[in-house]
Amino acid sequence: MGKVLLDMTMSLDGFIADRNGSVQSLYPDLSELRKTETLRESMSTTGAVVMGRHGYDMAGDYTGYEYQGPIFVVTHHVPEKVAKGENERLKFTFVTDGVKSAIEKAKAAAGDKDVTVIGGADVARQCIRAGLLDEIQIHLMPLLLGEGLRLFDDLGAEQIDLERIKVLESTTTTDIRFRVVKE
């Protein structure tokens, strides 16, 4: 069975969106990002994706999306219309009974491959608080946003220990991968 991996891009000061909710500054050149070793590896090892509804809505069009496989969207309300780009491999499942259920469904769909959690600070935090993650991969962008949406706010008082397992520098980011230390 694969791992459950949180994979997020953030500014050096910890923001995953700017003060207006935009992620544009964090993804200035998507074509360049698609060439990175880290994304190519993630695409080949991911069997299913979990994301939040806001992240799902932000993309809107999944035609040509990197992850071609089942995507589980954690939401309170199922959209009336599925986003553009669904095909025989890329299928959306809307999970209304919580992040733990979404992770369980994604694990079953992923088989021996990884479940990658992307797009959504709230879903990421829920996974961290519930102890559902095996690894965290952060793509640090060389910029300071000053304010916006922080990834690691409100995690609770309990310390979470991480073990650094990989650091990779590219022309656009510094990628750091951690194993979540579980007792």
pTM: 0.90
Q: Is the predicted pLDDT of residue 29 greater than 80, yes or no?
A: no
Q: Is the predicted pLDDT of residue 55 greater than 90, yes or no?
A: no
Residue 96, both tokens: 């209304």
Q: What is the count of structural domains for the chain?
A: 1
Distances (CA, A) of 155 to 16, 71, 73, 129, 166: 16, 25, 21, 6, 23
CB 110 within 8 A of CB 50: no
CATH number at residue 25: 3.40.430.10
pLDDT (mean) for 79-104: 88
CB 123 within 8 A of CB 5: no
Domain presence at residue 108: no
What's the CA gap between 84 and 136, in Å, rounded? Answer: 29
**Beta-carbon count within 10 A of 75 CB:** 18
Residues 131-167: tens digit of each pLDDT = 999 999 999 999 999 999 998 988 877 889 999 999 9
Domain presence at residue 105: no
In order, the DSSP letters of 112-123 are TSEEEE-S-HHH
Domain presence at residue 172: yes
By residue range, what is the domain housing residue 170? 4-96+117-180
Q: Rounded mean pLDDT of the chain?
A: 87
